[in-house]
């Protein structure tokens, strides 16, 4: 199996669809094609006829380090295209709206087995998950470094950070680009359960979360689960949808102005300090 075939894995086990981020050497940072693949797998899981749960997990030290700019794809693009509406409508606006909507509109139980830190767009997507299980609070944090990159919030995180962590922590995350610790996330009620890092490997942790979740819904009525999720979503959907559309429009403006492009160049040359 090639690297492209194995970077994100998909399988169905009994009544659970499992999506695995399998790029540990890059801390599960995802390029544009990989975010697209993640979305397609989530769409596939949503349409599975015999599943109740969709579980997203990862291998290695990080759950996801966000967008992977290490490939330096922008350096290969003609300058005229790099500041064009066409380029960023395709590479940024359409992708972010679509991916955020897929996470928000997922009709099954959407859970995450979180093995480590989460950064950037992946933070926004994790905040849309129903159930969050963390291996080790001390090694987990959320980081939304958009202000450090000359960007604005992504993945509807301008709504979900406030909704799930409160105004004060959302302000630290988005206005100051500060990492939010695992303990703070747990205290705010964002994390359902943590395990004090007791498992000897990420694989063992992932397997435990899978078994714990499948045991939890084993004797429950499937249609009641799915309808209850729809009822829960009624109170949040409007805020998510407004945030998603506003974020991409303001983000598009930043890319057209060339602000993130300049910040990435400065970070590469160590002219400014990255929050990582």
Active site residues: 154
Phi, psi angle pair for 164, to nearest 5°: -100, -20
Q: How far is CA 143 from CA 26, 50, 185, in A?
A: 17, 35, 12
Element (H, E) at 118: strand 118-119
Burial class (CB in 10 A: 0-12, 13-18, 19+), 172: middle
Q: What is the DSSP string of 15-48?
A: TEEEEEE--GGGTT-B-HHHHHHHHHHHHHHHT-
Angle between helices 237-257 and 259-268 (to 10 degrees): 70
Token reading at 19: 């999506």
Report CA 74 to chain centroid distance, whole Å: 22
Q: Terminus-to-terminus CA distance in the chain, angstroms?
A: 32
Are 134 and 82 in contact, with CB atoms under 8 Å apart?
no
Distance between CA atoms of residues 150 and 152, nearest Å: 7
Are 127 and 247 in contact, with CB atoms under 8 Å apart?
no
What is the residue whose two structure tokens read 């480590």? 116
Q: What secondary structure letter does DSSP report for 93?
A: I
């Amino acid at each position: 199996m090639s690297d492209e075939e194995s970077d994100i894995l998909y399988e169905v086990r009994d009544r659970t669809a499992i999506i695995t981020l399998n790029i540990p050497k890059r801390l599960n940072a995802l390029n544009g094609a990989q975010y697209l693949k993640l979305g397609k797998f989530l769409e596939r899981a949503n349409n599975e006829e015999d599943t109740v749960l969709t579980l997203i997990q990862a291998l290695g030290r990080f759950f996801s380090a966000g967008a992977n700019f290490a490939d330096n794809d922008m350096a290969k693009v003609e300058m005229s295209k790099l500041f064009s509406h066409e380029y960023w409508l395709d590479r940024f606006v359409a992708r972010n709206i679509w991916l955020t909507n897929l996470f928000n509109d997922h009709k099954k139980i959407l859970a995450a087995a979180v093995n480590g830190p989460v950064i950037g767009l992946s933070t926004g997507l994790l905040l849309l998950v129903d159930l969050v299980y963390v291996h080790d609070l001390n090694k987990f944090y959320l980081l939304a470094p958009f202000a450090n990159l000359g960007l604005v919030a992504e993945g509807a995180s301008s709504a979900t950070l406030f909704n799930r962590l409160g105004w004060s922590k959302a302000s630290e995350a988005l206005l100051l680009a500060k990492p939010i610790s695992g303990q703070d996330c747990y205290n705010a009620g964002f994390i359902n359960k943590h395990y004090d890092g007791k498992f000897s490997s990420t694989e063992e942790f992932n397997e435990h979360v899978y078994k714990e979740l499948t045991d939890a819904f084993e004797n429950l009525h499937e249609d009641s689960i799915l309808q209850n999720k729809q009822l829960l979503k009624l109170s949040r959907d409007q805020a998510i949808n407004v945030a998603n559309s506003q974020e991409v429009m303001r983000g598009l403006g930043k890319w057209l102005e060339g602000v993130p492009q300049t910040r990435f160049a400065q970070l590469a040359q160590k002219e400014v300090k990255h929050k990582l």
